[in-house]
Amino acid sequence: MSFYTALLSMTILLILGGCKRKPPPSHMPLQPVDVFTLQPQMVDIHTQLPGRTNAIEIAHIRPQVTGIIQKRFFIEGSDVKAGQQLYQIDPSRYQAAYQSAEGQLLQAKALERTAHAKVIRYRTLIQDHAISKQDLDDAIATEKQDQGKILSAKGQIKKAEVDLTYTRVPAPISGRIGRTLVTVGSLVTANQNNDLAVITRLDPIYVDVNMPIVTLFRLRREVASGRIHPRPDGKVPVTLTMDDGAHYKETGALALSEVNVNTSTSTVVVRAIMPNPQKTLLPGMYVHAQLDEGTIPQAMLVPLEAVSRNTHGDPQVWVVLPNNTVALRKIQVGQIINNHWLVTDGLKFGERIVIHGIQKISPGVKVSPHNITPQHPPFHTMPSPQNKQ
């Protein structure tokens, strides 16, 4: 078979095969997509931040007099009351000093009475010119000196009384006392640097968290604009999650925020006060604090899977227009709430957002939308207002 004959045969076969193909359809079927209609929803706004617990009060027990520890009156790790005696320091030397001061006071009073009587006699004798005026002046001066000795003796009694009281080492605050750092028989000195024990008040307890300054400013702006409605009492409730994931059952309240910003982290310390009746929280623990900022009565929420990012990192969604064509819309988002983005700009209530089928659509393409709603909506849905076109 020649080359031209073979080429002719192949051409005829291709023509016959093309005649057997089915003609293309007159129109392509519409791309089905699942859409979510935006409706206003009432949501509670929370901010979760890591934090540490700190004691409200800590007392370092140190002696104010020198002596030997004679007794200990507390059980290590127990709760003590303010004023409760903790230690007894040997009081003998301070008891002796107190008694000596009392004796000096009695002597000073006796001398003062004698001097006073002498002054009275000299006042009579000077009228009869039996003594000189110098003698009277000397008698008066002696009386004044003896009165000064009385005051000095009273001061010594007061000092000895205070020192004697200091031998009974009391608890300055109520709280839980730790281990004793000295034993009976130990010599302690006044104003020493070492503690005898440490008392920590555990109920209530502070929780300090580092809040980004931008978050604090955002919260203040949204409250001032009325977008977030705070609690009627103005308090910000705070709940805790422990480091192991367990939820702390008590609810505290925000107490204050620092006025100085940490220049290295751009954060401010926010302090909450937490009830701690069971002494579950201990100082220095790592916790996760949730601050209940308030309520947004008409929030716009979009499922996470409906939001993508463009090449610049800006969030965007596919919107189904009234004629069932799709358009790509850039939006602004805030925080994530229950697997939803909180949308702050770019959308309107009543618009339809594509959730599933995003990969097979392009701008201007007509689609077949199928409305879906969450089976367990976590928010309070409100009636949708009429959108102005």
Instruction: Report how far residue 273's alpha carbon sits from residue 54's, in angstroms, rounded to the nearest whole number.
Output: 10
What pLDDT is recorded for position 69?
Answer: 95
Q: Give me the sign of the Cα torsion angle 241, 242, 245, 247.
A: negative
Cα radius of gyration rounded to whole Å, the chain: 44
Residue 249's closest CA among 207, 271, 281?
281
pLDDT band at 388 (very low <50, low <70, confident <90, very high): very low
Domains in the chain and their CATH numbers? 31-41+299-381 (2.40.420.20), 46-56+201-297 (2.40.30.170), 64-89+167-194 (2.40.50.100), 91-166 (1.10.287.470)
What pLDDT is recorded for position 67?
Answer: 94
pLDDT at 3 over 90: no
- Decide: pTM greater than 0.85: no
pLDDT band at 14 (very low <50, low <70, confident <90, very high): low
| Mean pLDDT, rounded, of the chain | 84
What pLDDT is recorded for position 258?
Answer: 73
SS3 at position 344: strand
What pLDDT is recorded for position 201?
Answer: 94
**Residue 229 CB-half CA count within 13 A:** 9
49: left (phi over 0), alpha (psi -120 to 50) or beta: beta
What pLDDT is recorded for position 385?
Answer: 40
Residues in the chain: 389
What pLDDT is recorded for position 187?
Answer: 94
**pLDDT tens track for 255-304:** 877 778 888 888 888 888 999 999 999 999 999 998 887 778 888 899 98
Residue listed under structure tokens 């805030």: 334
pLDDT at 193 over 50: yes
SS3 at position 85: strand
Check if the beta carbon of residue 349 is closer than 8 Å to that of residue 38.
yes
pLDDT at 374 over 60: no
The neighbour count for residue 367, using CB atoms within 10 Å, is: 20
pLDDT at 16 over 90: no
What pLDDT is recorded for position 9?
Answer: 60
Residue listed under structure tokens 């129109």: 27
pLDDT band at 142 (very low <50, low <70, confident <90, very high): confident
What pLDDT is recorded for position 336?
Answer: 83
What pLDDT is recorded for position 376?
Answer: 45
pLDDT band at 180 (very low <50, low <70, confident <90, very high): very high
Residues 6+ apart with CB under 8 A from 34: 354, 355, 356, 357, 369, 370, 371, 372
8-17, 136-145, 263-272, 332-341 — which is least confidently predicted? 8-17
68-72, 182-186, 356-360 — which is least confidently predicted? 356-360
Residues 6+ apart with CB under 8 A from 225: none
- CA 71 to chain CA mean position, Å: 40
Q: What do you get for the CA distance between the two ends of the chain, in Å?
A: 75
**pLDDT tens track for 97-116:** 898 888 988 988 888 888 88
